Structure 1
Amino acid sequence: MFGSGLEIKTPEQVLLMREAGLVVADALAAVRDAVRPGVSTGELDQVAADLIRSRGATPSFLGYGDPPFPATICASVNEAVVHGIPGSQVLAEGDVVSIDCGAIVDGWHGDAAITIAVGDVPDDVTELMRVTEEALWRGLAAARAGGRVGDISHAIEQHVRAAGDYGIVEGYTGHGIGTAMHLPPDVPNHGRPGRGPRLRRGLALAVEPMITLGTKDTAVTADDWTVVTTDGSRAAHFEHTFALTDDGVWVLTAHDGGRADLERLGAPYGGPG
């Protein structure tokens, strides 16, 4: 299963990861529908937990790490970039909240994230979200069997740099995924093409640009989890898990497998149908 230090999946194992990916996709959709002014991040966590459990899956995040993460989702509001702990914080009109979610089905992981506007948000925040999500898709579209991890990183950075003066968070990266939530290799959101581990059929990666309206610099708060921008600027975070198949990229945490966006960008779609 492991080659060159990387976990390479069989087609049957990728299908199991697709099941986990669809649970994550449905959980994120349920949370998106529940976001509104006046809802707490703890209530959003319960929405995701109920959905995941109802599918017979297990939350990836609950109990993860040291100290153990205490919730099903990460809910990161405004200047929080990633790893926000959901709880009593109540969302207000004009906030943005990034929701990161993972699920396990038969020992296989899926991991994805979205950033959601709470009501009307400033135009620069709307554009930040658009740029970050498109950077994710540019990174996914750059993945090819025989290519390198750096091709993904470079495509993300190139899109963000061309879009404006944004901060690209460097201390947190995408990652390999499969029998564990975090596996080699790291997938940075900046870098040079043609560098890093080689991409192979059966490799699964989680790609997750984290972009800010200001600095790239971050700090961890007193809860030992929540990562915030040091200048208080807003952040956005989008993530998908994908696998490389014989045909191309299959986005396991997108309901359509990523087909529409990959074809829009001229990239081969690697899923069924």
Structure 2
Amino acid sequence: MIMYKTEAEIAIMKTNSSLVSTMLGEVAKVLKPGMTTLDIDAFCKSFILDNKGIPTFFNFHGYPHNICASVNDVVVHGFPNKKELKEGDIVSVDVGITRDGYVGEHAYTFILGEVSAEVLQLVKVTKESLYKGIEKAIAGNRVGDIAHAIQEHTEKKYGYGVVRELVGHGLGKTMHEDPQIPNYGKRGTGPVLKENVVLAIEPMVNMGKKEIFTESDGWTVKTKDGSPSVHFEHNVCVKKGKALILSDYSIIEAAEQTNSNLNTSYYTNTAKASS
């Protein structure tokens, strides 16, 4: 069942989503080689508790951490660990907060230092595809319109592998509500989008082939061919004419630019789209 939100509920979710953006912005200020993803997990837990929230991910279906930290060929759901991050790593941090009965959660991929032109392009294109999908998240369109826009920009235009088994989703009092939002599909298919449904739109795109596998921990999803994968996610409310983006990448992007350890050379144009 698709749950539609009141304007008051949307306001709460916008506050929570913006708070997640602020948290990811604080991560962007300090992220550097030598840190561990467990360091990021501890930081985010403290941030959430300090802001009178509940870490949404912790114990969700038994998940044992407060964030998902997915590095290089990890697509999503990576366990934070003690391995030191290094120059050339790409790091997706996905985190959620529950406050006042509603969830805000989204993800951002960071680049540590210098990487190949191919990796820069993958990050840039995946981020662009998120906004291509959001452009279609308007009342009267269908879920397939979002999915097609993302696939068209990534897989059809650049030959990347769009993950099939993992999808975006509705968002509200729980982290996963209807409808599911795939990152591939045909225009004009799927449920009709109506005003005031809140979605987590999240392209998960591999540089190589689309095939993935899950490690023995039951959570960590990796590319089957070992190629890098990138994950971006926004919280979006469907409206007439133009979607309302509840999360705020401009906070994260501004923080990235203050940190010389992070590579922001790819997003000159996408940064404008998020403001």
Which of 170, 174, 184 is the equivalent residue of 2:178? 184
SS of aligned partner of 2:60: coil
3-state SS in 2 of match to 1:116:
strand
Contact 1:113 1:240 in 2 (8 A): yes
User: Which residue type is aligned with residue 205 of structure 1?
Assistant: L
In the alignment, the residues of structure 2 paired with residue 9 and residue 261 of structure 1 have an alpha-carbon distance, to the nearest angstrom, of: 29
Q: Tell me if the contact between 2:37 and 2:83 (Cα under 8 Å) persists in the aligned partners.
A: yes
Q: In the alignment, what sits opposite 1:18?
A: 14
- Equivalent in the alignment of 1:63: 59
Asked if residue 120 in structure 1 is aligned to residue 88 in structure 2, the reply is no
Indicate which of 44, 47, 56 corresponds to 2:43: 47
Identify which range, 48-57 or 93-102, moves more after superposition.
Answer: 48-57
- Listed as ranges, the matches of 1:97-108 within 5 Å are 97-108=91-102
2:23 aligns to what? 27
Aligned to 2:124: 130
Alignment partners' CA distance in 1, 2:208 and 2:272: 32
**Equivalent-residue separation in structure 1 for 2:146 and 2:239 (angstroms):** 16
CA 1:262 to 1:245, structure 2 compared with 1: closer, same or farther past 3 Å? Answer: farther
Kept in 2, the 8 Å contact 1:76–1:99? The answer is yes
Is 1:230 the counterpart of 2:224? The answer is yes
Contact 1:20 1:57 in 2 (8 A): no
Is the contact made by 1:204 and 1:241 (CA closer than 8 Å) also made in structure 2? yes
Contact 2:135 2:242 in 1 (8 A): no
- The question of whether the paired residues in 2 share the 8 Å contact of 1:220 and 1:227 is answered with yes
Distance 1:161 1:223 in 2: 29
Q: Could you tell me how far apart the structure 2 residues matched to 1:256 and 1:122 are?
A: 25
Q: Among 184, 187, 201, which residue is 1:193 paired with?
A: 187
TM-score (norm 2): 0.89
Alpha-carbon offset, residue 179 of structure 1 = 0.9
- Paired with 1:92 and 1:123, the residues of 2 have a C-alpha distance of 18
Equivalent-residue separation in structure 2 for 1:262 and 1:42 (angstroms): 28
8 Å CA contact 2:162–2:183 kept in 1: the answer is: yes
Is the CA contact (8 Å cut-off) linking 1:41 and 1:89 kept in structure 2? Answer: yes
Q: State the percentage of identical aligned residues.
A: 37
Separation in 2, partners of 1:116, 1:19: 23
Is 2:220 the partner of 1:240? no
On the 8 A contact 1:59/1:103 being kept in 2, the answer is yes
Q: TM-score normalized by structure 1?
A: 0.90
In the alignment, structure 2 segments of 5+ residues that lack a partner are 252-268
Amino acid at match of 1:96: I
CA distance, structure 1, for counterparts of residue 273 and residue 137 of structure 2: 15
CA distance in 1, matches of 2:273, 2:15: 25
Where structure 1 has 5 or more consecutive residues not aligned to the other structure, the ranges are none
Mapped partners of 2:223, 2:249: distance in 1: 31
Give the drift of 1:246: 5.0
How many angstroms apart in 1 are the aligned matches of 2:35 and 2:22?
Answer: 19
State how 1:145-164 maps to structure 2 within 5 Å.
145-164=139-158
Deviation at 1:51?
1.5
| 1:96 paired to 2:80 | no
Structure number with the higher helix fraction is 2
Deviation digits for residues 203-246 of structure 1 (CA, Å, limit 9, x no counterpart): 00000000111111111111111000011100000001111235
Larger mean CA deviation between 48-57 and 38-47 belongs to 48-57
Which of 31, 37, 41 in structure 1 is aligned with 2:33?
Answer: 37
1:28 shift after superposition: 1.1
Equivalences for residues 72-83 of structure 1 within 5 A: 72-83=66-77
